Chain A
Amino acid sequence: MPLSPAVTDLAQLKDRPAVARLMAWKSEAVQGAKFDRDELSIYVERDLTREACGLLQSDAATKFNFLSDITCVDLYPSEPRFEICYHLLSHTRKERVRLKVKLAGDDPSVESITPVWPGANFFEREIFDLFGIRFLNHPNLHRILMPDDWEGYPLRKDYPVEGYR
């Protein structure tokens, strides 16, 4: 399948169930959307992340009942520096959606979504460990892969590939 250009116009994507549901709930929750390579990404307002996840999980029109993955991208040196990606999956509708949340470099923190999916626990800890992003109200926000006394956050772009020597 040859690549077609990405659709980034929110007006063209507002009929997609996930976008439509979030827009109907709170129009300020959706900052933008992108449809690229058969994948839908929705940029969500940081403070509404947890509620947006809860809504997409329980709503009958979207039914994104499963959290596949959470990860983070460091866009250093541009701002907002971090993007958290939540990959949601609907078992009944066989569809995926990616929620993206932009976080500023000076205060990278976002509400934890462990109340919605307890399985987010390890993923959020991993991001905290490797990117230094704080997840508010997380039940056990400790380093998970690196030693507890490790300095720095290895997956940040300003962290050298071979580590500090």
Chain B
Amino acid sequence: MLDTGGIVLTQFNPLREVVSRELFTVWGITVSNHMFMVTLAAAILLIALPLAVRGKGLVSRGFGNLIETVCVFIREEMARPFLGEATDRHIGFVWTVFFFVLTLNLLGMVPLDKFITLISGAESHLGGIATANIWVTGSLALVAFFSIHIFGMRQQGVWGYVRNFAPNVPWPMVPFIYFLEVVGAIVKPFALAIRLFANMLAGHVVLGTLLGLIFLFKNYFVGAATVIGVVLMSLLELFVAFLQAYIFTFLTIIFIGFAVKPQH
């Protein structure tokens, strides 16, 4: 740490915990910690969810019951008011989006790299918050973008979808409203990506900055206050992890609703 006339320069960088880090290279492809976390989340979901819902009776128990409750909430409370009778046709995609984003957010709260460092003694980067990477949220938004338009075309046919792309307006307004709709369609995936990325990044940078205060002040009082602050912020981050998964899913449902129901 350097103190240069009132300006404190420290080597602690709160962004250190959220930036993408190179792990290894396979067949010329560089694998980063965020790519690893995305793969880990997919693997966890592919293994855990089928195991959770596998049961002999009609009534699921334990973790399966929790998953079922969440699925029913998403289908009945979030999707059905917007998608109506088209709900069951698209609910598989909506469930996948919710559980994938939620798992990525929650995995970001697990200090996997720190555990490995504690056990092995060597510095590890096998961890991190993948949804605080704009390329990960951008990819998720791109998948949502293509799915929204494909669902719309499947529901109404390609010509029907193009014809109903904009709401009914007097004919002199048609070019303007089509322009607005095209601009809105381009902006949608960016809006989805930015919202998830910014919220997850901000929370983890705040956590990193709070922890940095310990290195900056190096006294017990600040240390104790910081630990309490970090615990409270972590609880808030846990809430934000669920909230952002909910919001991403909710907006995807709204956009699917615009595409599959022409009256929107």
The answer to whether A and B interact is no
